[in-house]
A and B are shown apart, each in its own frame.
Chain A
Amino acid sequence: MRTEIFGIHTPGDSLVHRTPPGVKILAVLLLSLIPLVVRSPWVTLGGLAIALIVLFTSRVPVRRWLPLAWPVVFILVVVVIYQGIHGRVDLMVVVPGNVLAALYLARALVLTTSGPDLLDAMSRVLPERVALAVALMLRSIPQILDAMGTVRDAARARGLGRNPIANLAPVIVHAIALAQVTGEALVARGLGESDMLE
């Protein structure tokens, strides 16, 4: 399980690494959305090819960007089988191809851009409170994962290892407590006030 949200950043000095984060974000947006709207196998394959070329030029080791999560593979396989049965060869290419193209483009972005640089680029366009919410969300993920581990150990110690309530309810309670202290800390630091923009 991932404990560090932007942990997959791989520093480097390739052209992809040196491209400004704002340009990369924009490129990922366009290249992911165009095939989605056009729905032509050739556009899809073109998008996928660009994604792969970008990843190869970034010189990030292949094993760091190639593997797919099991749920993604599952869905893609289901789609291909389904469209195959219905004889829609074009959709057999378009749907999984669009998914993979967008997925690898996003990976290229996250692998070649550090978390703070990404947040920085986003916070240039986002209102301050939204940027703050994004930062708070990302910093809370490892904290909740930690709590989940602690709760799981406690549930096991009580012989409730497989009880979903014993494994989940304390995590939610902990998350709310975390949110409340965080809220107080924001107040104390003068952050996130309703007129923060002024």
Chain B
Amino acid sequence: MMDKRVMSKKGNLLTGEVIFLVLNIVFISILIIFVLSRTNSSAFLEEQYAKEIALMIDSSKPGMILHLNMEDAISKAESNSIAAADIVKITGNVVTIKLKEKGQYSYSFFNNVSAEKSNYLDTSNNKEWVFAITEKNEK
């Protein structure tokens, strides 16, 4: 009779502590997942890289070759079934970044140079994008 009561008390205590611990872990995990999803989202990376590339091109001069490490964007695009070679597109003076099926982000640069046909993924390491800046051919 005495043993039964002690067992029951111990069992309740353990269950309570375990649930308390599990709830804490769940709470903190949700918080971490939220922060990571916000800081590493496709939309955020698209905006960041479009603006970064536009600023790089703005400060460049014809003849320059720029290398940009886009490892995180490339892995994000591949996880969203977007080919790495299709991530960056430059049309006229507008840079467009696409890392997900739906949507993309565009930003313009004011430097009247051409990088439209001379930007490509560096296939030797598959994590850098190369921009060869050339003089714009006026019509």
Tell whether A and B belong to one assembly.
no
Chain B interface (Cβ < 8 Å from any Cβ of A): none
User: A residues near B, CB below 8 A?
Assistant: none
